[in-house]
């Protein structure tokens, strides 16, 4: 399967585009949109810069965007303003066999405006590491009774790994339902790559911390876990995390409560368990947006998630008082790489019939990854 390292990305010609101001870049992007019409979809993840979001046809979280784009019958090209694994999912869904058949076999190119827009969490679990983990666990426990679950924030190869072993994908919104699905079928779960989402979800289900050892792929033998701890385990967590959400600390919560009595603390489940334990509300990106949208005027929030999203909520809901939970800037640096210059360059190449930075998942990996994603959609 093609990855960032083994794909040949076209070189971004910085000088011709970097010299343009946002007004001219916006005008040129709008010209491409007018030329390509509904055949072009620009997808903007919630964490993107505001000027990119303003030009997006669809705004949402990673899986939601991919699913919406794949459902658009007139779409013939996708520019995904997100990160690499998101573009992979869009390619898998938009170019699944039945959709390609409807288009007479035509593939929809999915382009990532900047190939350096990756995800540090997804990079913390590589397919070779997960395969090695599975092989080592097989020497201690019966892996036929172990359910692999990967967070959607992972490479297509890991989604395919899960499918081949009867496993599944989850989102931050349905992680609890997916774990319940898994335990209805097997007694143990291997959860990767985000340890915090796995731990917070399992704790809420009544699973004890002692039953959730953490596999560290850098530790070599058994991921640094004692054999007895593996045998006692119910959820084996992978030592991965989101660099943004791990920045929020329990002390930040305490400071806001002291400074603003009655404030509501709202955090993403990728935060540490200590932060989640102190929060009033925990939710996926979609739930965070919904809770703020539905809150009465005058509600005071401190929100622990990506900075661009919090600032956008603050702008869109002036009737509420919204604070960013950390005194330290916490933004998704790789998502931030996509700007108007990269987007304009990618779109003008699409319009010219010379697409750059096309994300293409090989057919076999895509087939299995789709299977794991479809299982996820069946879980209620």
Structure tokens at 360: 């293409």
Domains contained in the chain, number: 3
* Mean pLDDT over the full length of the chain: 92
CATH number at residue 92: 3.40.50.10800
Q: Any residues with CB less than 8 A from the CB of 210 and at least 6 apart, and which? A: 232
216-254 pLDDT, tens digit each? 999 989 999 999 999 999 999 999 998 889 999 999 999
Q: Any residues with CB less than 8 A from the CB of 233 and at least 6 apart, and which? A: 188, 211, 212, 213
307-318 pLDDT, tens digit each? 989 999 999 999
Helix (H) or strand (E) holding 195: helix 195-204
Q: Mean pLDDT across the stretch 18-34?
A: 95
130-161 pLDDT, tens digit each? 999 999 999 999 999 999 999 999 999 999 99
Residues 150 and 229 reside in one and the same domain: yes
Q: Mean pLDDT across the stretch 49-67?
A: 85
Q: CB count, 10 Å around CB of 42?
A: 24
In the prediction, which pLDDT does 211 show? Answer: 98
Residue 4 lies in a domain: no
Residue 371 lies in a domain: no
Residues 102 and 125 reside in one and the same domain: no
Q: Which domain holds residue 84?
A: 14-118+334-362
In the prediction, which pLDDT does 1 show? Answer: 40
In the prediction, which pLDDT does 7 show? Answer: 41
CA-to-CA separations, 47 to 53, 69, 164, in angstroms, rounded: 9, 18, 32
Residue 168 lies in a domain: yes
Q: Any residues with CB less than 8 A from the CB of 193 and at least 6 apart, and which? A: 121, 122, 124, 125, 150, 151, 153, 154, 158, 238, 240
Confidence band for 331, pLDDT divided at 50, 70 and 90 = low
Residue 375 lies in a domain: no
Pick the last residue of a domain from 219, 238, 257: 238
Helix (H) or strand (E) holding 294: helix 285-294
Residue 306 lies in a domain: yes
First to last CA, the chain: 30
Residues 126 and 104 reside in one and the same domain: no
Report yes or no: 159 and 170 within 8 Å, Cβ to Cβ: no
Distance CA 192, CA 134 (A): 12
């Amino acid at each position: 399967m093609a990855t960032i390292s083994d794909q040949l990305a076209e070189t971004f010609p910085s000088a011709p585009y970097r010299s343009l101001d946002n007004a001219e870049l916006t005008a040129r992007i709008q010209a491409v949109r007018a030329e390509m019409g509904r055949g072009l979809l620009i997808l903007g993840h919630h964490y993107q810069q505001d000027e990119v979001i303003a030009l997006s046809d669809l705004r949402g979280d990673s899986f939601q965007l991919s699913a919406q784009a794949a459902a658009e019958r007139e779409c013939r090209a996708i520019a995904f303003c997100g990160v690499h694994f998101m573009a992979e999912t869009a390619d898998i869904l938009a170019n699944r066999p039945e959709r390609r058949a409807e288009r007479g076999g035509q593939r929809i190119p999915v382009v990532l405006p900047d190939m350096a827009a990756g995800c540090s969490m997804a990079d913390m679990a590589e397919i070779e590491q997960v395969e090695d983990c599975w092989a080592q666990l097989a020497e201690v426990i019966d892996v036929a009774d172990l359910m692999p679950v990967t967070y959607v924030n992972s490479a297509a190869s890991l989604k395919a790994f899960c499918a081949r072993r009867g496993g599944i994908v989850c989102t931050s919104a349905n992680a609890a339902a997916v774990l319940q699905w898994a335990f209805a079928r097997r007694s143990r779960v291997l959860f990767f790559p985000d340890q915090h989402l796995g731990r917070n979800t399992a704790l809420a289900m009544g699973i004890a911390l002692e039953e959730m050892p953490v596999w560290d792929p850098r530790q070599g033998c058994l991921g640094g876990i004692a054999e007895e701890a593996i045998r006692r385990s119910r959820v084996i967590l992978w030592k991965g995390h989101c660099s943004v959400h791990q920045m929020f600390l329990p002390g930040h919560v305490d400071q806001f409560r002291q400074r603003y009595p009655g404030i509501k603390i709202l955090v993403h489940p990728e935060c540490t368990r200590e932060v989640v334990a102190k929060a009033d509300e925990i939710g996926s990106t979609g739930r965070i947006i919904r809770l703020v949208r539905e809150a009465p005027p005058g509600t005071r929030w401190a929100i622990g998630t990506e900075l661009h999203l919090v600032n956008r909520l603050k702008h869109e809901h002036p009737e509420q008082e919204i604070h960013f939970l950390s005194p330290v800037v916490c933004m998704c640096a790789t998502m931030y790489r996509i700007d108007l210059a990269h987007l304009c360059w990618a779109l003008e190449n699409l319009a010219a019939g010379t697409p750059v930075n096309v994300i293409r998942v090989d057919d076999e990996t895509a087939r299995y990854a789709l299977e794991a994603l479809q299982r996820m959609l069946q879980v209620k």
